[in-house]
């Protein structure tokens, strides 16, 4: 029943235009941009586009790409979206070496720090793992199948991020929750150890980012959401350290403290390598209005 409701809800959004996505290589070598089903990569140093090729034997993206991301060292890149495809690219040659078919539309993707696994989340609230190198038993994987490792119980997952040390994976959802999970040594057997929950947002959580100050190598977690706030967390304990209301900062809150019509949401947040600078993107949410057309 719940699964069918999610599928029906997704089908009603077929005409929705997906937002453009952009990510920068960890060593500033390239920039990847996704607009709808189109994926383009640019050589930053050479100031020129990079040609992509697909050796995976799978189809190209045919619907909107919803998630893209590099691994920690930039050697692996993943793209995924509404066509239920997860495509894995090697950035030394920008060849797609593996295409994995998901069961549901994909909403988030991340690459493990050692480059051995790609994890992705679907619209049903499950997080799946794909083995790229050797399997859990030290043998090469025999197929392209993904296995589920954790779930958010039918809540759409909006963001997946690995902690700076690669020991944890943070997952956020539309039910205001952020879960910190220990990333297991054998992901294909499941990720069952929950480190903490970061609870405090009063609307959907849309984005996650880790900041790693020089004097705090473990790092902090940043989150943004539909409540117009960016929150800073000690993710190991789940303790909220600071809240910044960007609705007020951007002048989207009236002088009496009430929010302007339609509201606003933080849709993306990122931090500089040393955590000294944080960039926030805010989307103005306009209310739906019923329009009545005159009869002919």
Angle at 295 between CA 290 and CA 296, to 5 degrees: 145
User: What pLDDT shows up at residue 244?
Assistant: 92
Query: What is the β-pairing status of strands 53-54 and 95-101?
Result: parallel
The helix (H) or strand (E) run that includes residue 8 is: helix 2-11
Residues 6+ apart with CB under 8 A from 293: none
Q: Which token pair is 287?
A: 């209310």
What is the value of pTM for the model shown?
0.83
Tell me the per-residue pLDDT of 91-148, one tens digit each, with 9 for 90 and over: 999 999 999 999 999 999 999 988 899 999 998 999 999 998 755 554 444 456 899 9
User: What is the rounded distance in angstroms from the CA atom of residue 163 to the CA atom of residue 208?
Assistant: 10
> For the chain, which domains are there?
2-197 (2.130.10.10), 205-296 (no CATH)
Residues 6+ apart with CB under 8 A from 20: 33, 34, 35
Residues 6+ apart with CB under 8 A from 208: 159, 160, 161, 170, 172, 178, 221, 222, 223, 269
Tallying the residues shown for the chain, one arrives at 296
Q: CB–CB of 221/232 below 8 Å?
A: yes
Q: Which token pair is 127?
A: 């997080």
Tell me the per-residue pLDDT of 151-185, one tens digit each, with 9 for 90 and over: 998 899 999 999 999 999 999 999 999 999 999 88
Tell me the per-residue pLDDT of 38-95, one tens digit each, with 9 for 90 and over: 999 999 989 999 999 998 888 999 999 999 999 999 999 999 999 999 999 999 999 9
Q: CB–CB of 86/132 below 8 Å?
A: no
Q: What is residue 3's three-state secondary structure? A: helix
How many CA atoms lie within 13 Å of 94's alpha carbon, on the beta-carbon side? 15
User: What pLDDT shows up at residue 173?
Assistant: 95
Tell which wins on pLDDT, 92 or 254: 92
Strands lying side by side in the sheet with 205-211: 205-211, 220-225, 229-234, 239-245
């Amino acid at each position: 029943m719940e699964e069918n409701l999610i599928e029906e809800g997704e089908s009603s959004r077929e005409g929705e235009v997906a937002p453009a996505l952009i990510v920068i290589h960890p060593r500033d070598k390239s920039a990847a941009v996704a607009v709808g089903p189109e994926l383009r990569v640019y050589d930053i140093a050479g100031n020129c586009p990079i040609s992509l090729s697909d050796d995976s034997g799978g189809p190209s993206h045919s619907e909107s790409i919803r998630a893209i991301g590099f691994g920690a060292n930039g050697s692996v890149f993943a793209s995924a979206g509404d066509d239920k495809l997860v495509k894995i690219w090697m950035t030394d040659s920008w060849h797609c070496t593996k295409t994995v078919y998901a069961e549901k539309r994909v909403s988030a993707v991340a690459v493990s720090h050692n480059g051995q696994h790609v994890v992705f989340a679907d619209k049903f609230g499950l997080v799946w793992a794909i083995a790229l190198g050797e399997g859990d038993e030290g043998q090469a994987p025999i197929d392209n199948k993904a296995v589920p490792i954790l779930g958010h119980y039918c809540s759409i997952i909006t963001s997946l991020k690995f902690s700076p040390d690669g020991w944890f994976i943070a997952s956020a959802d539309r039910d205001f929750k952020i879960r910190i999970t220990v990333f297991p040594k054998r992901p294909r057997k499941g990720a069952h150890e929950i480190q903490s929950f970061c609870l405090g947002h009063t609307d959907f959580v849309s984005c996650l980012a880790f900041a790693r100050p020089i004097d705090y190598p473990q790092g902090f977690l940043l989150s943004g959401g539909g409540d117009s706030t960016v929150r800073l967390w000690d993710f190991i304990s789940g303790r909220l350290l600071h809240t910044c209301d960007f609705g007020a900062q951007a002048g989207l809150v009236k002088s009496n403290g009430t929010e302007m019509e339609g509201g606003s949401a933080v849709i993306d947040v990122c931090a500089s390598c040393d955590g000294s600078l944080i960039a926030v993107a805010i989307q103005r949410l306009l209310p739906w209005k019923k329009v009545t057309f005159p009869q002919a």
